[in-house]
Chain A
Amino acid sequence: MIRLPDSFSYVRSRETLARSQVFRRSWPVVLDLCVAGIGLACFYGVVQLAKYWFGHPSPEIQISLSPHALPRYAFYSVVRIGLAYLLSLFFAVGYGYVAAYSRRFEALMIAGLDILQSIPVLSFLPGVMLAMVALFPTRQIGLEMGAILLIFTGQVWNMAFSFYSSLKSIPRELSEASTIYKFSRWQRLFTLELPYATIGLVWNSMVSVAGGWFFLMACEMFVLGSRDFRLPGLGSYLQTAASTGDFIAIGWGLATMIAIIVATDQLIWRPIIAWSDKFKFEQVETGSRVTSPLLQLFQHSKAVRSLRKHTVDPLADSFYRRVDENRRAAFERRRESYIKGTAEADMERQERWIGIARGVVLALVLGGVLYSAAHALSLLNNISWHESGEILKGALATFFRVNVALVLASLWTIPVGVAIGFHPRLARIAQPLAQIAASVPATALFPVILLALVQMGGGLGVGSIALMMLGTQWYILFNVIAGAMAIPNDLREVARLFKFTRAQRWRTVILPGIFPYLITGLVTASGGAWNASIVAEYFHLKNQTLQTTGLGAVISAATDSGQFQILLLATIVMALMVVTINRLVWRPLYRLAETRYKLGA
C-alpha cells in the first residue's frame, strides 16, 4: 500500500497572457508535424526491436562499455520497463476488478496480493526465466519476455491494490446512477470505474516505474545455476561497468539513466498528471494545477482530433450499440421464458451448468495448486539443518538491518522534513532537488558508494544499510514534508502563544501532527527496504562477490548457484516476516493514525 502525499505535485507559474496568445496561434501546424514525427520514430523503433527480438538468441552477449553503445542499451531498457509497465497496468486492472466484484475470491485475492507484494523480485527469477526460455528456445524473445516479466513482478502489486481500493470506494450514488441508467459493464468501466481510479493509478504507476529502475540491474544480468544470462541494456551496462571498476563507464551510465528519468518525468508523467487532473473527485475547482506543454500539444493538434473522430469515436459507438443489442436480446429471452412460464426452470438449468463448470474448474485449479505446493515442499526436505540455520540467522540480520536503516533514515528526515514543511520558501528550493535525488535509482549509485566504502575500510554490512536508506528514505522524507505542511497554522500559533518549550512543541504538536504521514512513509519504506536487501547484501564488484550475512544475500546466492530449495525457503521466510510485521506492527499503527491522530473531523 503505497500512497504519495500531495507534495509530489508540481506547482508552476502560468505563462503571461501575451505569450500564451502567441503560443496558441502558431501551434497547430507545428503540432501536427511533431505528432507525425513521433509516429515515425515509434515505427522505426518497433522495426528495430522486432528484428532483434525475433533473431536467434546469443547466450553470451558481451556488454560493450563504450558510450556509443549507450543509446541502444538505453532504448532496450526503456522498452523493457515500458512493456512491463503496460503489462502491469492491464493485470492490475483485471486483478483489482475481479477482486472487488467477486464475493467468493475477494478475501483470498487480497491476502494473495499482500503476500506477493512481500516476495522479492529475484525469487520469481528462476521460475519465470526457465519457463520463458523453454517457451521460446530459439528466439531472443524468450529471454526478453523473462526480463520483462521480472520487472513486471516488481511493479504490479501496488497498482492492483490501488485499483482494487478505488473500486471499493466508489460513492454509492454514482454506482447506482450507472445501474439505473443501464450502463453496460463496459460503459461502467470506462465512464465510472477507470476514471475514478485514475488518480490512484497514476501515482502508483510512478512509484512502480521507479521500482522498475531500481531492480533493472538485477533483472537484466544474472547467473542462474550454470547459465549466465545477459541482456543488452542500461542495467547490464552499469553492472558490467561496476564489476570491472570502470568509473568512466559508470559515470556515462549514470548520466544516461538520470537523463532518461528526467525525460520520462517531463514527457510522460507531467502530461499524464496534468491530464488526470480532471479525474479528481472534487466538488470545487482547486487553485494550483499542473500544466504540461506536451499535453497541450496533443489537445490542440488537429491531426489527433480528427484521428480520434474517425477511429475511436465510431468504434466506441458501434461497440456500445452491439452491447445494447445483446442486452435487449437477453432481456427478450428472459421475457419469453417468463411468458412461457419456464423462467425458473431455465434459470435453474443454467445455474446448474454454471455450477458444475465452476466446480470442475475450481477442482482442477485446487488440484494443480496442491500438487505443485506438495512438490515444492518436498524440495524443502533437502535442506540441511545447517542451511536452515543460516537462513534464520540471515533473517535476523536483515531484520536488524532494515530497522537500523529505518531509524537512521527517520533521524535525519523528520527534522529536515519538518523544517522544509514549515518554511514555504525553503520548500520551494528543496523540493525539486529532493525529487531529482529521489528519482535516481540507488542501485545505480551503489557501485560508487561501495567502492568508496571499501577504500575506507568499511564492508558490505554497513554498505547494505546505506543502500537500503538510499532507496527508501525518500518515502519518509516526502511524507514528513506533507505532514508538516498539513499541520494547521492555529496549532503552531497556540504553541508559540503559550511559549511551549522545544520538547513540548515536538511532543504535543509536531509529532502527533505528522504521525499519520510518518506511518505511511515508514510502511512503504519498510517494505521497500526488505525488497532492496536482495541487491544490497550481495554484490559483484571487480570480479569478486561481496556479500554479508542476510536473507537477501541468501536469496541472491541461491539464485546464482541454482539452489532452488534454499531460494524457496528463504523466500517463504521473507514473505512471512514482511506479512507478519505488516499485520502486527504497521496495521495497528495505521489504525491508530486513522482514528486518534487524524486532523480535522
Chain B
Amino acid sequence: MQPAIIRAEQVEKYYAQPSENRIQVISPTDLSISEGEIVALLGPSGSGKSTLLRMLTGLSIPSAGSVYWHEKPIASADVNVSIVFQSFALFPWLTVFENVEAPLKARGMDPAERRKRAMKILDTVGLDGFQAAYPKELSGGMRQRVGFARALVVEPEVLFMDEPFSALDVLTAENLRSELLELWQNKTIPTRAIFIVTHNIEEAVLLADRIIVLGRNPGHVRTDFRVSLAHPRDRKAAAFTQLVDYIYKVLTQPDAQPPALPQTATGRKVRDQRHMQYQMLPHARPGGIAGLLELLVDHNGRDDIYKLADDLAFEIDDLLPIVDAAQILGFLKVTEGDAVITPTGTEFANSEILRQKELFRTAALENVLLLRQIVRAIEAKSDKNVSEEFFHDVLDEQFSEDETLRQLETAINWGRYAELFDYDASRRRFMLPENENPEAESEAASEIDA
C-alpha cells in the first residue's frame, strides 16, 4: 500500500437544527487517497458525494473529524489539488488562454513562464488554435477540455473531478474519458492520484482502480474495493458486467446494519434517519413508476436492475428513485440486484388509469405515513382543509430545509395523483378533492374491471 496523500479521519458533516436534533449528512467516515490510483466515488443522489469531495479538497470544513494532507492538517498545508467541475466553471469573460493562465497568475509566476506552461498544456489536451476563443464559442466537450487544461496546468498532486462528464453527450464523454486515461497511463501528466465523483456505474468501472460506494441517509461508505481488470476495459466482457451488476446489488440492497451512531460532545441527540418517524420518499413521479412496472411486465416480471437501466439509457440517479418508490408502495421487490414485480404491481401495470389510481391510493395510504397523516388531518378538521405549514414543521425536525421541501413536493404529487387530497398552491393548504363522488368513481372502476 502506497502512503496516503490525503487521508480523512472520521470526518462527518451535519447541520444543527434549532431543536434538539441535527441533520446528519455524512456519518463519520474514514477515507484515503494514495499515490498511483484512480478512486471513483459512487452513490445515489443525497449520499453526500460532492460534500465528501469538498471536504477532501479543503473547500469545505468537516463538522467533526479531520483531513490530513501528507499527514499534516489540511488547513495548515500547502495543498496542491485541482477540481474539474460538472458545469466546467470557466470564466466566460476570459479567453481559453486566460482561463488556463489564471491559476498560474495566482501563484505569482512570471508572464513568460506562464505563457509557456499554458501553451504546453493546451497542446496536451488538444486545444491548440483555440487559445483566443471565448468559452461560449466552444462546444461542451471543448469547454470541458479547457476545464481539464486549467486543472492540469498547476500540475496537481491529486486531480479531483466532480461528475466531469455528466453534462456531455455520450460520445463526447467517451472520447474525453479515454483521452484522460491515456494521459494518466502514459504519465504525460505529473498527477499522482485521481479522485472522481460519479453516478454512472459503468464510468466508474471503466476508469477506477478502486471504487467506493456510498449509501445515504446519512451518507456512509457501503463498500470499498479494488478493481483489477486490465486496461483497456471491455464493456462487454463478463468480468466487467459482473462488476456492474455487483455494484447495482450493493446499491439496491438495504443495509445489513446501520452505520455507527456518532456521539456528540454537546449532548445533542443524533438520530439515524432510518429510525425516524417518516421514511424518506424517493422523488419519483407516479407516471415513472407505472412506466417501470409496465416494462417489467414485458420482461416477464423480473429483470436485472442494471439491464433495465441499460435498456432505458438511465443512470442510477434516474432509475433508483423509481425502483425505491415502487418498492415502498409494494409494487416490486428487489432481490440480489433483480427487480421482481409483485401481484399488486402486475395488476397496477395491467390496469386502466382509474383503477391504477385506486391501487395507488390503497398502496399509498397503507405504506406512506406522511400521506396517511395528511388525509387524517383533513378529515379531522371541520372545514376540511389543513395548512401545509404544519407538515413542513414536522418534517423539518427530521430533514434539511431543502429535503423537507422536496419531500412535501413529492407527497403533494403522489396525493394529487391518487386523488387523496387537493393542494392549493397559493394558499398552501391541503383539502379534500373537489368533485369527491365515491359512487361515480367506483362505478367507473367496475366498468373497467368488466
Are A and B part of the same complex? yes
- Whether the pair B102, A335 counts as a contact (CB closer than 8 A) is no
- With the chains together, A334 CA to B154 CA distance in Å? 23
Give the nearest-CB partner of A316 in chain B.
B105
- Whether the pair A338, B106 counts as a contact (CB closer than 8 A) is no
Give the nearest-CB partner of A195 in chain B.
B93
Most buried by A among B82, B102, B134: B102
Q: Determine if B81 is an interface residue (Cβ-Cβ < 8 Å).
A: yes
What is the distance, in angstroms, from B138's C-beta to the closest C-beta of chain A?
Answer: 10
- With the chains together, A278 CA to B134 CA distance in Å? 9
- With the chains together, A284 CA to B92 CA distance in Å? 10
Residues from chain B with Cβ under 8 Å of A173 in the complex: 85-87, 89
Q: Determine if A351 is an interface residue (Cβ-Cβ < 8 Å).
A: no
What is the distance, in angstroms, from B102's C-beta to the closest C-beta of chain A?
Answer: 6
- Select which of B54, B108, B136 is within 8 A of A283 by beta carbon: B136
- Whether the pair B106, A177 counts as a contact (CB closer than 8 A) is no
- With the chains together, A322 CA to B150 CA distance in Å? 23
Residues from chain B with Cβ under 8 Å of A323 in the complex: 108
Residues from chain A with Cβ under 8 Å of B106 in the complex: 181-184, 187, 320, 324
- Whether the pair A177, B83 counts as a contact (CB closer than 8 A) is yes
Q: Determine if A331 is an interface residue (Cβ-Cβ < 8 Å).
A: yes
Give the nearest-CB partner of A177 in chain B.
B89
Q: Determine if A457 is an interface residue (Cβ-Cβ < 8 Å).
A: no
Q: Determine if A387 is an interface residue (Cβ-Cβ < 8 Å).
A: no
Give the nearest-CB partner of A285 in chain B.
B136
User: A180 with B59: in contact, given A173-B89, A282-B92, A285-B137 (CB under 8 Å)?
Assistant: yes
Interface residues on A, range: 35 or more
- Whether the pair A279, B93 counts as a contact (CB closer than 8 A) is yes
Q: Determine if B78 is an interface residue (Cβ-Cβ < 8 Å).
A: yes
Q: Determine if B407 is an interface residue (Cβ-Cβ < 8 Å).
A: no
Residues from chain A with Cβ under 8 Å of B83 in the complex: 176-177, 180
Docked complex: A172-208 residues within 8 A CB-CB of B = 173-174, 176-177, 179-184, 187, 191-192, 195, 198
Residues from chain A with Cβ under 8 Å of B134 in the complex: 278
- Select which of B87, B91, B103, B137 is within 8 A of A182 by beta carbon: B103
- With the chains together, A183 CA to B83 CA distance in Å? 14
- Whether the pair B108, A343 counts as a contact (CB closer than 8 A) is no
Contact with A along B107-123 (1 / 0, CB 8 A): 11011000000000000
Contact with B along A306-333 (1 / 0, CB 8 A): 0000000100010011111100000100
Contact with A along B415-441 (1 / 0, CB 8 A): 000000000001000000000000000
User: A179 with B59: in contact, given A174-B89, A278-B93, A285-B136 (CB under 8 Å)?
Assistant: yes
User: A181 with B103: in contact, given A171-B87, A173-B85 (CB under 8 Å)?
Assistant: yes
What is the distance, in angstroms, from B157's C-beta to the closest C-beta of chain A?
Answer: 13
Residues from chain A with Cβ under 8 Å of B103 in the complex: 181-183
Give the nearest-CB partner of A180 in chain B.
B83
- Select which of B78, B102, B107, B150 is within 8 A of A331 by beta carbon: B78
Q: Determine if B94 is an interface residue (Cβ-Cβ < 8 Å).
A: yes
- With the chains together, A192 CA to B92 CA distance in Å? 10
Residues from chain B with Cβ under 8 Å of A322 in the complex: 108
- Whether the pair B92, A280 counts as a contact (CB closer than 8 A) is yes
Give the nearest-CB partner of A343 in chain B.
B76
Q: Determine if A385 is an interface residue (Cβ-Cβ < 8 Å).
A: no
Residues from chain B with Cβ under 8 Å of A181 in the complex: 82, 102-103, 106, 150, 154
- Whether the pair B87, A282 counts as a contact (CB closer than 8 A) is no
What is the distance, in angstroms, from A595's C-beta to the closest C-beta of chain B?
Answer: 8
Docked complex: A141-191 residues within 8 A CB-CB of B = 171, 173-174, 176-177, 179-184, 187, 191
- Select which of B92, B102, B110, B150 is within 8 A of A183 by beta carbon: B102
- Whether the pair A191, B107 counts as a contact (CB closer than 8 A) is no
- With the chains together, A342 CA to B137 CA distance in Å? 52
- Whether the pair A324, B87 counts as a contact (CB closer than 8 A) is no
Q: Determine if B72 is an interface residue (Cβ-Cβ < 8 Å).
A: yes
- Whether the pair A321, B89 counts as a contact (CB closer than 8 A) is no
What is the distance, in angstroms, from A517's C-beta to the closest C-beta of chain B?
Answer: 21
Residues from chain A with Cβ under 8 Å of B72 in the complex: 338
Q: Looking at chain A's contact residues, is the secondary structure mostly helix, strand, loop, or mixed?
A: helix
- Whether the pair B108, A321 counts as a contact (CB closer than 8 A) is yes
- Whether the pair A324, B136 counts as a contact (CB closer than 8 A) is no
Contact with B along A406-447 (1 / 0, CB 8 A): 000000000000000000000000000000000000000000
Q: Determine if B144 is an interface residue (Cβ-Cβ < 8 Å).
A: no
Residues from chain B with Cβ under 8 Å of A182 in the complex: 103, 106-107
- With the chains together, A282 CA to B86 CA distance in Å? 16
Give the nearest-CB partner of B75 in chain A.
A334
- With the chains together, A335 CA to B111 CA distance in Å? 29
What is the distance, in angstroms, from A190's C-beta to the closest C-beta of chain B?
Answer: 10
Residues from chain B with Cβ under 8 Å of A179 in the complex: 59
Q: Determine if B57 is an interface residue (Cβ-Cβ < 8 Å).
A: yes
What is the distance, in angstroms, from A226's C-beta to the closest C-beta of chain B?
Answer: 54
Q: Determine if B343 is an interface residue (Cβ-Cβ < 8 Å).
A: no
Q: Determine if B73 is an interface residue (Cβ-Cβ < 8 Å).
A: yes
Give the nearest-CB partner of B103 in chain A.
A181
Give the nearest-CB partner of A338 in chain B.
B76
Q: Determine if A12 is an interface residue (Cβ-Cβ < 8 Å).
A: no
Q: Determine if A51 is an interface residue (Cβ-Cβ < 8 Å).
A: no
- With the chains together, A335 CA to B134 CA distance in Å? 40
Residues from chain B with Cβ under 8 Å of A334 in the complex: 76
- With the chains together, A173 CA to B136 CA distance in Å? 17
- With the chains together, A162 CA to B426 CA distance in Å? 30
Contact with A along B31-42 (1 / 0, CB 8 A): 000000000000
What is the distance, in angstroms, from A370's C-beta to the closest C-beta of chain B?
Answer: 32
Give the nearest-CB partner of B107 in chain A.
A324
- With the chains together, A322 CA to B72 CA distance in Å? 27
Give the nearest-CB partner of A279 in chain B.
B93
- Whether the pair A313, B108 counts as a contact (CB closer than 8 A) is no
Docked complex: A28-86 residues within 8 A CB-CB of B = none
Most buried by B among A195, A283, A324, A343: A283
- With the chains together, A338 CA to B81 CA distance in Å? 21
Residues from chain A with Cβ under 8 Å of B78 in the complex: 331, 335
- Whether the pair B136, A192 counts as a contact (CB closer than 8 A) is no
What is the distance, in angstroms, from B163's C-beta to the closest C-beta of chain A?
Answer: 11
- With the chains together, A323 CA to B72 CA distance in Å? 25
Q: Determine if A281 is an interface residue (Cβ-Cβ < 8 Å).
A: yes
What is the distance, in angstroms, from A38's C-beta to the closest C-beta of chain B?
Answer: 26
- With the chains together, A280 CA to B134 CA distance in Å? 12
User: A171 with B91: in contact, given A180-B59, A325-B108 (CB under 8 Å)?
Assistant: no
Most buried by A among B59, B78, B111, B137: B78
Residues from chain B with Cβ under 8 Å of A338 in the complex: 72-73, 76
What is the distance, in angstroms, from B362's C-beta to the closest C-beta of chain A?
Answer: 33
- With the chains together, A320 CA to B93 CA distance in Å? 19
Q: Determine if A596 is an interface residue (Cβ-Cβ < 8 Å).
A: yes
Give the nearest-CB partner of A313 in chain B.
B111
- With the chains together, A540 CA to B312 CA distance in Å? 77
User: A317 with B111: in contact, given A195-B91, A334-B76 (CB under 8 Å)?
Assistant: yes
- Whether the pair A174, B59 counts as a contact (CB closer than 8 A) is no
- Whether the pair B108, A320 counts as a contact (CB closer than 8 A) is yes
Query: Which B residues have a C-beta under 8 Å from some C-beta of A?
Result: 54, 57, 59, 72-73, 76-78, 81-83, 85-87, 89, 91-94, 102-103, 105-108, 110-111, 134, 136-137, 150, 154, 426
Q: What are 7 contact pairs spanning A and B, CB under 8 A?
A: A176-B59, A180-B82, A182-B107, A187-B105, A283-B136, A285-B137, A325-B108
- Beyond A174-B89, A180-B57, A313-B111, 14 additional contacts (C-beta under 8 Å) are A174-B91, A181-B103, A181-B106, A181-B150, A183-B102, A187-B102, A187-B105, A191-B102, A280-B92, A283-B136, A317-B110, A320-B108, A335-B77, A338-B72
The 3 lowest CB-CB distance pairs between A and B, nearest first, are: A324-B108, A181-B103, A173-B89
